[in-house]
Homo-oligomer: A and B are copies of this chain.
Amino acid sequence: MKAWLSKLNADLSFSPASAAELARSELSGAFPDLSFHVTTDPDLGEGYRIRREEDGSFTVKGGETGVLYGAYEMIRRAFSGGSLPDSYSSSPKYALRMINCWDNADGTVERGYSGQSLFFENGKLTYDPLRMRELGRLMASVGLNVLCINNVNVHFPAQLLLEDWLPEAAALADLFRPFGVRLMFSVDFSQPMRHGIPTADPLDPEVRNWWKKTAERVYREIPDLAGFLVKADSEGRPGPFTYGRDHSEGANMLADAVRPFGGKIVWRCFVYNCRQDWRDIGTDRPKAAWEHYAFLDGKFADNVILQIKHGPFDFQVREPLSPLLLGMKKTNMAMELQLAQEYTGHQIDLYTMIPMWKELFEELPSDRIMSLAAVSNLGRDDNYTGHPLAAVNLFTYGLLAWNPDTDAAEAVSEWIRMTYGFAAADEQALLSLLLSSRRTYEKYTAPLGIGWMVTPHDHYGPNPSGYEYDLWGTYHKANRDAVGIDRTENGTGYLLQYPAALQEKYRNPETCPDLYLLFYHRLPYSFRMKDGRTLIQRIYDDHFEGYEETEKMAETIRSLPFPDPDKEVILSRMDRQLYNAKEWCDIINTFFRRLSGADDEHGRKIWD
């Protein structure tokens, strides 16, 4: 077994008939000297209760899948060096705890850094059943319960999941079911047109009927399918706009089709003008999601969930909370995170995400959303996540989706203990390295919330003007005097999409938190930061610090007793991160020095 369950020796060669059977098998494998009573009570749903009996045995009582989560709670506690509880109960905060795989039918993974797809190869749905059970176990062990296996950009022939491939897809669903994992499919909004219907207009009776019949057929084969995931009218995908319909009309039509079967429509809100002209300053991309959705609040069916990226751009290292997550009070919402390190180091650079996620919840009351989704970092690599230490993101995401009050340090510690079982000093060293890795990455990459100074398309490595004259709406407009975009009411007005308290927090550059400064404000290089440094000096300092921290990180990494084969992967990727951090530091500092003319106050080398 792989990742944080490497110590679990329980048999996984069989197909368990139910979650309860699996729970019994896992517990007896993990604790051969203990005895367990695993009983199900449908009323408990995904929740569970654990009790130590007087005879030393344990009772684990839970809903159909709840017993499984109870079992893994015990396993995680024991394998992370804790003691088993006398009494403990828990149930998840969010009903849907989703993984979105961006896997294509040809076997590639969009923004995948862990090898080829686990589910597809050469235009076919094809998989290794043992790896599927391993994956189900990893997901269940941290409470994740929905797996969307295909890319939201539905390229042909992935549409066949609802057609010719349905029997194989149903077999896959059968495989995952005992792990409490339900499948979801990304669907192509124009799919009826593959079947002779001349339109995909959501109000067209023939279209509605096609989706209704399709849902019937799909749910006959996979009765517990979680639903459909839809990327519509975004980056070239088809959607209701083509027919003069709005997104509630599009989503609700699909919602009607899956409602009889308890299905959900998860509708992504990643809609913006991806053909913006760089000369067009009237358009500000972060405003787009709000502009497309806020006015529809209350119009979505009760089984529609709007899936909203955590920030208004696209998974940059630093973005404010999407205002849409605070604005839609009468709509079911999921917050979308990204485990795949698209802009955050490609699973070469270390980047532990939970500190960032916790920051989001500081502004987002956890009750405002009803579910969490995360873009997968999984692939066919032997270790599943490309970089062994990237598994911490999948692990902690699971814990957070179960309970958003999860403490970041505790979750990461638990992962380290389960995965490596280091001595205390080493554990502490790795813990602080992982917890600080995002700040370090942030320091050596784009400064103070500006984002996007990345190599276009590939999204690894620096290119400070790479998106500056492009069509994507992601500009910093740095010139010899100033940098950043004014998003207050004096500028693009984006800030006005927030509640008053948040407007207040960010409005004034003198009081705006430093790390969001250039996201909200355009400021001269001579601007005095709260600590007295100039903006330009702060940019230089951050970049030098980011690289220095990476050097220290490399020392720590080299000193830790990672086992093989992790060790080799970790060390070689650490060398690549060092190279990358140096490139970022040198190029961004040179870029700003060429513009500003300012020397570093501490006389460090900035290239001409």
Contact = CB atoms under 8 A, between A and B. Distances in A.
A594 interface: yes
A479 B278 CA distance: 22
Contact of A590 (B463, B469, B481): B469
B594 A478 contact: yes
Contacts of A281: 608
Contact of A462 (B463, B469, B587, B596): B469
A462 B281 CA distance: 20
A18 to B, nearest CB: 53
A596 B480 CA distance: 7
A464 interface: yes
A479 B597 contact: yes
Interface in A457-488: 462-465, 469, 477-481
Number of identical protomers:
2
A188 interface: no
Nearest to A605: B279
A331 B480 CA distance: 50
A607 B279 contact: yes
Nearest to A280: B607
Contacts of A593: 479
Interface in A408-466: 462-465
A586 interface: yes
Categorize the interface residue count of chain A: 20 to 34
A586 B470 CA distance: 12
A95 interface: no
A595 interface: yes
Interface centre among A279, A478, A481, by most chain B C-beta atoms within 10 angstroms, is A279
Contact of A469 (B479, B587, B595): B587
Given A279-B607, A586-B279, A607-B279, A594 B597 contact: no
A190 to B, nearest CB: 29
A190 B595 CA distance: 47
B480 A594 contact: yes
Contact of A594 (B278, B587, B595): B595
Contacts of A595: 479-480, 594-595
A469 B607 CA distance: 11
A289 to B, nearest CB: 25
Nearest to A470: B463
Nearest to A596: B480
A598 to B, nearest CB: 10
Contacts of A583: 469
Contacts of A279: 586, 607
A436 to B, nearest CB: 27
A192 B599 CA distance: 55
A481 B500 CA distance: 43
Contacts of A278: 587, 607
Interface in A552-608: 583, 586-587, 590, 593-597, 607-608
A479 B587 contact: no
A587 B477 CA distance: 12
A480 B594 CA distance: 6
Contact of A465 (B464, B477, B480): B464
A25 B267 CA distance: 71
A524 to B, nearest CB: 12
A418 to B, nearest CB: 41
Contacts of A607: 278-279
A608 B485 CA distance: 12
A597 B480 contact: yes
A607 B463 CA distance: 21
Contacts of A594: 477-480, 595
Contacts of A463: 465, 469
Given A281-B608, A469-B587, A479-B593, 11 more contacts: A278-B587, A464-B465, A469-B583, A477-B594, A477-B608, A479-B594, A479-B595, A480-B480, A481-B597, A594-B595, A595-B595
11 contacts: A279-B586, A281-B608, A463-B465, A464-B465, A465-B465, A478-B594, A479-B595, A479-B597, A480-B594, A480-B596, A594-B595
